Amino acid sequence: MQQRDKLFINGKWVAPHGTGLINVIHSTTEAVMGRIPEGHARDAEDAIQAARAAFDSWSATPPSVRADYIRKIAEGLKARSEELAQLIAGEVGMPIKMARAIQVGGPVYNWTQAAKLLETFVFEEEVGNSLVVREPVGVVAAITPWNYPLNQITLKVAPALAAGCTVVLKPSEVAPLNAFVLAEVIEAAGLPPGVFNLVTGYGPVVGEVLASHPEVDMVSFTGSTRAGKRVSELGAQSVKRVALELGGKSASVILDDADLAAAVKGTVGACFLNSGQTCSAHTRMLVPRARYDEVKAIARKVVEGYTVGDPLLETSRLGPLISAAQKDRVTGYIQRGINEGAELVAGGPEAPEGLDKGFFVKPTVLGNVDPKATVAQEEIFGPVLSIICYDTEEDAVRIANDSIYGLGGGVWSGDEARAIRVARRIRTGQVDINGGPFNMQAPFGGYKQSGNGREAGKYGLEEFLEYKSLQMRKPAA
* Residue 197 and residue 168 in contact, taking contact as beta carbons nearer than 8 Å: yes
How distant, in Å, are the alpha carbons of 145, 149, 161, 210, 314 from that of 220? 11, 14, 13, 10, 35
Q: What confidence tens digit (pLDDT) does each residue in 255-290 have?
A: 999 999 999 999 999 999 999 999 999 999 999 999
415 occurs within a structural domain:
yes
Please tell me whether residues 100 and 151 are part of one structural domain.
yes
Over range 452-475, report the average pLDDT: 95
Please tell me whether residues 52 and 147 are part of one structural domain.
yes
49 occurs within a structural domain:
yes
One of 45, 91, 173, 245 is an active-site residue; which one? 245
Please tell me whether residues 326 and 344 are part of one structural domain.
yes
> Can you tell me the distance from the alpha carbon of 263 to that of 255, in angstroms, rounded to the nearest whole number?
9
* Residue 430 and residue 103 in contact, taking contact as beta carbons nearer than 8 Å: no
Over range 61-84, report the average pLDDT: 98
Please tell me whether residues 316 and 235 are part of one structural domain.
no
Domain containing 143: what range? 2-246+449-469
pLDDT at 173: 97
- pLDDT of 56 > 90? The answer is yes
- pLDDT of 476 > 80? The answer is no
Sheet bearing 282-288, strands edge to edge: 343-346, 364-367, 384-390, 282-288, 250-254, 409-412, 432-433
63 occurs within a structural domain:
yes
pLDDT at 440: 94
pLDDT at 314: 86
How distant, in Å, are the alpha carbons of 9, 28, 71, 74, 191 from that of 12? 6, 33, 21, 20, 11
Q: What is the value of pTM for the model shown? A: 0.96
474 occurs within a structural domain:
no
- 124 is an active site residue: no
475 occurs within a structural domain:
no
> Can you tell me the distance from the alpha carbon of 196 to that of 183, in angstroms, rounded to the nearest whole number?
8
> Can you tell me the distance from the alpha carbon of 90 to that of 26, in angstroms, rounded to the nearest whole number?
5
Coil, strand or helix at 152: helix
CATH number of the structural domain spanning residue 424: 3.40.309.10
Number of structural domains, the chain? 2
Please tell me whether residues 133 and 256 are part of one structural domain.
no
Please tell me whether residues 235 and 268 are part of one structural domain.
no
Please tell me whether residues 215 and 260 are part of one structural domain.
no
CATH number of the structural domain spanning residue 234: 3.40.605.10
pLDDT at 475: 77
pLDDT at 185: 98
- pLDDT of 325 > 70? The answer is yes
Please tell me whether residues 261 and 213 are part of one structural domain.
no
pLDDT at 356: 86
* Axis crossing angle, helix 177-189 with helix 81-92, rounded to the nearest 10: 160
> Can you tell me the distance from the alpha carbon of 364 to that of 43, in angstroms, rounded to the nearest whole number?
43
293 occurs within a structural domain:
yes
Q: What confidence tens digit (pLDDT) does each residue in 99-151 have?
A: 999 999 999 999 999 999 999 999 999 999 999 999 999 999 999 999 999 99
Please tell me whether residues 112 and 68 are part of one structural domain.
yes
> Can you tell me the distance from the alpha carbon of 106 to that of 104, in angstroms, rounded to the nearest whole number?
5
Please tell me whether residues 316 and 178 are part of one structural domain.
no
Q: Residue-wise over 270-292: b if at least 16 C-beta within 10 A, else e?
A: bbbbbbbbbbbbbbbbbbbeebb
pLDDT at 477: 66
* Residue 411 and residue 388 in contact, taking contact as beta carbons nearer than 8 Å: no
Q: What confidence tens digit (pLDDT) does each residue in 148-190 have?
A: 999 999 999 999 999 999 999 999 999 999 999 999 999 999 9
477 occurs within a structural domain:
no
Over range 228-242, report the average pLDDT: 97
pLDDT at 6: 98
- Reported residue count of the chain is 477
Q: What confidence tens digit (pLDDT) does each residue in 362-379 have?
A: 999 999 999 999 999 999
Identity of residue 98: M
Q: What confidence tens digit (pLDDT) does each residue in 210-220 have?
A: 999 999 999 99
